[in-house]
């Protein structure tokens, strides 16, 4: 394992064969396209994946389903239509489609195969609606994402995310690189990260860090996560281990602390390209925090944690959007990356993604 966060990588980003920000995400995975709460019973919504419109439909009975989002007749957004029982009805001319994508309007000839929509494998789990966006014959063969802490009563989970104006690779890099903690110093104080090393394989990169506070006070929100107040001093320096893993195409962040068997915090997160160029992405995050020994204390303090994580996300979003803007202004990727784990991460995203 690598153990020096300041060591120059063995290969230079100057010689990279492709611009990472032009690498398309691999569609042969399960991607969250909406929160369950966004799709009420007998409702439909329009969602996007890399510029493609899909309609998610929750029928009167049964599980939600996903179809191409434009009516085959005049390409009107089906997400603006109505759900009638198990059918989605277009708001333009009233054509109705079933969950198999077949137009079943009585005034339309059954011999009109052009009035059929592509269907997409769809599943619901953990408050998210997932769609398999690649080769549909692979849907049952590709592992479905797992986030067990969301269903664990010992944890409380926050669901968060919004659209961020950057290529999804900036998001992976931002979370993986804890050397950017200076960005959050007003929130968490001055923190000194220690890079413990990394592991990597064909479809993953994992990095481990510990932290020591070198200035400022521990924020209340952090004390709630760790379950205790921690005064400055050596007793609490480098006590916690943060593990960040990109298991393509998802990311998982876990914090473990001495004396506690289970992680005190676990984050599962996915970035879903929205536009055709994949320069915007919608974030879907599941942040699970272990409940404290005092019953309901975490619930009472939950608004504090929400405000804290919102601020962290705001600062991260601001920096990655600035990086994306620089990429656009300079006409390509000019990053001079020297941190080995980020170079490994970039290799992974190129290798698992699709070249433009």
Neighbours of 350 (CB within 10 A): 18
Of the listed ranges 101-115, 172-186, 239-253, 257-271, the least confidently predicted one is 101-115
> Residue 11: what pLDDT?
45
Average pLDDT over residues 230-242: 67
Report the CATH number at residue 226.
Answer: 3.90.380.10
Neighbours of 178 (CB within 10 A): 21
Co-location of 211 and 347 in the same domain: yes
Q: Helix, strand, coil: what percent of the chain each, to 5?
A: 25, 35, 40
In a domain, 15, yes or no: no
Q: Are 268 and 286 in contact (CB under 8 A)?
A: yes
pLDDT in tens, 251-303: 999 999 877 789 999 999 999 999 999 999 999 999 999 998 888 888 988 99
Q: Which residue has the higher pLDDT, 229 or 150?
A: 150
Report the CATH number at residue 112.
Answer: 2.102.10.10
Co-location of 188 and 240 in the same domain: yes
Domain boundary among 85, 120, 138: 138
Domain boundary among 138, 161, 185: 138
Q: Which residue has the higher pLDDT, 10 or 186?
A: 186
Contacts of 276 (CB under 8 A, 6+ apart): 50, 51
Nearest residue to 88 via CA among 53, 60, 112, 114: 60
In a domain, 21, yes or no: no
Tell me what the pLDDT averaged over the chain comes to. Answer: 88
Rounded to the nearest 10°, the torsion over CA 318, 283, 19, 3 is 80
In a domain, 20, yes or no: no
Domain boundary among 117, 138, 159: 138
Q: Which residue has the higher pLDDT, 178 or 216?
A: 178
Confidence of residue 230 (pLDDT cuts 50, 70, 90): low
Co-location of 174 and 206 in the same domain: yes
DSSP secondary structure string for all residues of 75-121 = --BGGGSEEETTEEE-TTT--EE-TTSBB--TTS-TT-TTSB--EE-
Confidence of residue 63 (pLDDT cuts 50, 70, 90): very high
Confidence of residue 85 (pLDDT cuts 50, 70, 90): very high
In a domain, 18, yes or no: no
pLDDT in tens, 290-347: 998 888 888 988 998 899 889 989 999 999 999 999 999 999 999 888 899 999 999 9
Average pLDDT over residues 19-42: 97
Q: Which residue has the higher pLDDT, 53 or 226?
A: 53
Co-location of 116 and 151 in the same domain: no
Its domain, for residue 102, covers: 30-138
């Amino acid at each position: 394992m690598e153990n020096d966060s300041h060591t120059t990588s063995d290969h230079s980003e100057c010689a990279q064969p492709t611009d990472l920000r032009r690498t398309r995400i691999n569609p042969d995975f399960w991607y969250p396209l909406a929160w369950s709460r966004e799709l009420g019973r007998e409702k439909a919504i329009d969602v996007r994946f890399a510029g493609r419109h899909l309609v998610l439909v929750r029928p009167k009975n049964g599980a939600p389903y996903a179809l191409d989002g434009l009516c085959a007749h005049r390409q009107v957004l089906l997400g603006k239509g109505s759900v009638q029982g198990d059918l989605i009805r277009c708001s333009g001319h009233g054509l109705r489609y079933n969950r198999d994508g077949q137009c079943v309007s009585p005034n339309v000839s059954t011999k009109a195969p052009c009035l059929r929509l592509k269907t997409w494998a769809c599943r619901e789990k953990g408050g998210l609606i997932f769609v398999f966006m690649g080769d549909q014959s692979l849907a049952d063969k590709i592992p479905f994402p797992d986030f067990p802490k969301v269903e664990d009563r010992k944890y409380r989970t926050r669901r968060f995310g919004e659209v961020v104006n950057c290529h999804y690779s900036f998001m992976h890099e931002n979370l993986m690189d804890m050397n950017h903690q200076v960005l959050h110093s007003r929130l968490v104080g001055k923190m000194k990260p220690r890079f413990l090393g990394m592991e990597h394989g064909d479809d993953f990169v994992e990095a481990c860090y510990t932290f020591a506070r070198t200035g400022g006070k521990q924020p209340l929100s952090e004390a709630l996560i760790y379950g205790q107040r921690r005064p400055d001093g050596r007793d609490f320096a480098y006590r916690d281990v943060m593990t960040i893993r990109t298991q393509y195409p998802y990311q998982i962040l876990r914090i473990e602390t001495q004396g506690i068997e289970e992680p005190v915090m676990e984050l599962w997160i996915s970035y879903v390209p929205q536009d055709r160029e994949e320069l915007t992405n919608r974030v879907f995050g599941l942040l699970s925090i272990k409940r404290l020994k005092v019953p309901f204390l975490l619930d009472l303090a939950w608004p504090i944690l929400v405000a804290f994580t919102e601020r962290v996300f705001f600062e991260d979003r601001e920096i990655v959007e600035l990086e994306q803007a620089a990429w656009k202004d300079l006409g390509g990727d000019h990053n001079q990356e020297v941190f080995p784990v980020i170079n490994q991460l970039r290799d992974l995203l190129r290798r698992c993604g699709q070249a433009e």
